[in-house]
Amino acid sequence: MVYSTTEEDMGDAVKQFMLPASEGIFRTGLYQYKTTLFKTKSVDAGSTMPINEDELRILVDNFDRIYKNDPELANMLGIKELHDLLNSLSQITDKDRKQDIIGEIFQVNRMTKVEVHFANDLCQFWCSHCRTLFFEEKAIIDRKYNIYRCPKCNRTLQVTPVWVLKEKTRKSPTTPLTVWISGAKNEELWAAWKGHKAPICPICHNGKLDIYYSRSPARLMESSRIECDTCHHQFSLFSQNYSLINATENLTQAITISTYNRSMLYMDAFDLRKVLEAPCFNPSLLDEFIYSPNALVKEIVLGYTFGANITETIKAKRYGRDLKTSALYLRLKPAYYYEALKFLREVYENHPEYNKKYKGIDANNEDLHKLVLHSIAHGIKSMLPATSGLALDSFAYIYDLTNDSVLVYEQAPGGFGACAELSKMEEIKKESIAVEFFTKLRDNVTECTCDDRCKYCIAMKGCQEMNEALSRFALGPLLKIDPHDVSWGF
C-alpha cells in the first residue's frame, strides 16, 4: 500500500511513518487504516527542510525543557551533538557557512511518498464470523478498498490483539498473540509463529490451534480463547510478564520537537497591545504581543517509542514538516519576572511549603522563568477553544527561555482563524475580542480554588511536561489581578 502525503496531512504523516536511523531494527512506525494495522516499509525523502541557527537553538532548548530529566534519551537522540554544534556555530561569523554546517550535521527531509505493508511481525488476521486465524499470505487482498477479506466467507478481517510487556525487563515490549497459549510449549509456539504455521494442538497432537475468539472485548485477556480445529479443546491465553491489548497505531508514539522562524512572525503582524488597554490586561509588562498570520513552525521527529506499558525508544531517521499557520506571539520584559515573583510571594504568604520556596529564589531564577512562560502558554491555549469552538488539540505552543517568549499556534496549514479573532472588534460591544478573551481568562484564574493549577484553570491534557512547572498565579501581573482577590484551597 502506498501513501502519498499532502500539506494537509503532513503533520500526521511524519508522526506515523517512522523508520529507525540504524540498520537491523525491524520495529517501524505503525499506521492504522480501517481494521488493518500496517507498518512503515520505506519513505521517499523529499526536499531538505532548512534549519537556521536560531531555529536550531529553539529546538534544542525545547527538547531540554521537556526531557531534562532523561539524559539517556538525550544521548540516544543526539542532543549532545546538537549542543556541541551550537557551541561551534557561535565561533563562526559567516552566515552561509553556518547554514552549510547545520545542513551537513542536522539534515531534515520532508516526506513525499510512503510504502507500508501489513504488520506481520506483530499480528495476524482473524475473522469474527468464522473465528479463524490467518497469516497474511492466506488472506484475500481487496485492492479496490485496501482491505483484507476472509478466504472462507469474504468478510472483512480484523487484526489480532498483541501482548505488551507489564514490567521493565530485557524482554521484547510486544509479542504476537499465539506465543502465549496455556498448556502449550512456548518454544514450539514461537517456532510455529516464525514459520507462519498454526501451532499443533498439545492435546490431540493432530489438529491446529487456528480458531480464536473473545467472549468479552472489555476483558480481553481473561475472555480470549484459542481452539483446536480437530478436537475443539479450548485453551486460555496467559503470560506472567505480558498483558493482552488490541493492536493499534498507538503502539508507536513519535518523539517530536518543534521550533519556529522568528523573522517570519512579523510579516503582516498585528500589534495586539494597541487594543488591550483594559482592566484585564497589562501591556506595559510586554515587549511584544502580536497576532501573526505568517508563522512558520517546524516540527521534526527525532525518535519514537514502541510498545504500550513498557516501551522501547528508537532513534528515527529525521523527517519533518514546516507548517505555515496563524499564531499569537508574546515576549515579556525582564520586569515581568520581578512582578510575578512578588505576586507569588504575596499569594503564598501563609502556604506551608510554597512560602519558603518563593522566598528562597530571586527573579533571575531559571525555574521561575520556566514557570511563568509555561503558565502563560497554558493560559492562552486553554482559552482558545472557548472563543473559537475548536478542540484543544487544534492548538500547540512553544516557549523560549532565551527570548522570554511564548508562541501559541494553530495546528493546520494556514490556520483555522482562531488567533485572528483576537485582532478583531466585537460588533455589538464595539470593543476588541481580545479584551473579552483575557477577561474570561482572568475570571478563570481568579475564581479557581486550586493551590497552583488544575484542569479547571490552566492544567490540560496532553502537556508534554506533564503539567509540571505551572501556576495560575504566574499570570497575575499580566491580567492585572490583585493578590488579595484570588481564591485558593490552602
Give me the pLDDT at residue 152, please: 95
Torsions phi, psi for 361 (to 5 deg)? -125, 165
Q: List Cα–Cα distances, 429 to 78, 104, 273, 277, 414, in angstroms.
A: 53, 55, 19, 16, 29
Query: Could you tell me where the DSSP H helices lie in 199-285?
Result: 220-223
Tell how strand 286-307 and strand 311-332 pair up. antiparallel
| Whether pLDDT at 116 is above 70 | yes
In terms of pLDDT, which residue wins out, 430 or 252?
Answer: 252
Residue 405's beta-bridge partner residues? 331, 400
What is the chain's mean pLDDT, rounded?
Answer: 91
Query: Could you tell me where the DSSP H helices lie in 49-184?
Result: 53-67, 71-76, 79-89, 95-105
Contact 401, 439 (CB under 8 A): no
Q: How confident is the model at residue 427 (pLDDT cuts 50, 70, 90)?
A: low
Select from 172, 171, 168 the least CA-distant residue to 122: 172
Give me the pLDDT at residue 21, please: 94
Give me the pLDDT at residue 34, please: 84
Query: How confident is the model over 263-270, as a mean pLDDT?
Result: 96
Query: How confident is the model over 471-478, as a mean pLDDT?
Result: 94
The lowest-confidence range among 14-23, 86-95, 440-449, 479-488 is: 479-488
* DSSP states of 320-379: EEEEEEEEEEEEE-THHHHHHHHHHHHHTTT-TTHHHHHHT--TT-HHHHHHHHHHHHHH
Give the model confidence (pLDDT) of 305-317 as tens digits. 999 988 999 999 9
Give me the pLDDT at residue 276, please: 82
* DSSP states of 142-167: ETTTTEEE-TTT-PBPEEPPEEEESS
Give the model confidence (pLDDT) of 150-201 as tens digits. 999 999 999 999 999 999 888 899 999 999 999 999 999 999 999 999 999 9
Please give the DSSP secondary-structure letter assigned to residue 299: E
Residue 44's beta-bridge partner residues? 113
CA atoms within 13 A on the CB side of 330: 30
| Whether pLDDT at 335 is above 90 | yes
**Residues above pLDDT 70, as percent of the chain:** 96
Amino acid of residue 349: E
Q: How far apart are CA 18 and CA 43, in angstroms?
A: 8
Measured distance between the N- and C-terminal CA atoms of the chain, rounded to whole angstroms: 58
Place of cell 496467559: 238
Q: How confident is the model at residue 212 (pLDDT cuts 50, 70, 90)?
A: very high
Torsions phi, psi for 322 (to 5 deg)? -105, 120
| Whether pLDDT at 4 is above 90 | no
Give the model confidence (pLDDT) of 98-108 as tens digits. 999 999 999 99
All cell numbers assigned to 155: 468478510
Give me the pLDDT at residue 10, please: 63
Instruction: Give pTM, 2 decimals.
Output: 0.88
All cell numbers assigned to 54: 536560531
| Whether pLDDT at 458 is above 60 | yes
All cell numbers assigned to 20: 529507525
Give me the pLDDT at residue 455, please: 82
Burial of 368 (0-12, 13-18, 19+ CB in 10 A): buried
Contact 119, 27 (CB under 8 A): no
Give me the pLDDT at residue 215, please: 79
Contact 470, 459 (CB under 8 A): yes
| Whether pLDDT at 217 is above 80 | no
| Whether pLDDT at 381 is above 90 | yes
| Whether pLDDT at 490 is above 70 | no
Q: How far apart are CA 266 and CA 440, in angstroms?
A: 27
The lowest-confidence range among 74-83, 113-122, 269-278, 361-370 is: 269-278
Please give the DSSP secondary-structure letter assigned to residue 208: B
**Residues above pLDDT 90, as percent of the chain:** 71
Q: Residues 6 or more apart from 349 whose CB is under 8 A from it?
A: 355
Buried b (16+ CB within 10 A) or exposed e, 5-26: beeeebbebbbbbbbbbeeeee
Q: How far apart are CA 261 and CA 412, in angstroms?
A: 17
Give me the pLDDT at residue 120, please: 93
Contact 309, 164 (CB under 8 A): yes
Give me the pLDDT at residue 169, please: 86
Query: How confident is the model over 391-395, as a mean pLDDT?
Result: 93
All cell numbers assigned to 153: 466467507
Tell how strand 270-271 and strand 286-307 pair up. antiparallel
Give me the pLDDT at residue 465, please: 87
Contact 3, 14 (CB under 8 A): no
Please count the other Cβ atoms lying within 10 Å of the Cβ belonging to residue 57: 19
Q: Is 384 helix (H, G, I), strand (E, B) or coil?
A: helix
Give the model confidence (pLDDT) of 5-58 as tens digits. 555 466 678 889 999 999 888 899 999 988 899 999 999 988 999 999 999 999
Select from 271, 216, 217, 265 the least CA-distant residue to 407: 265
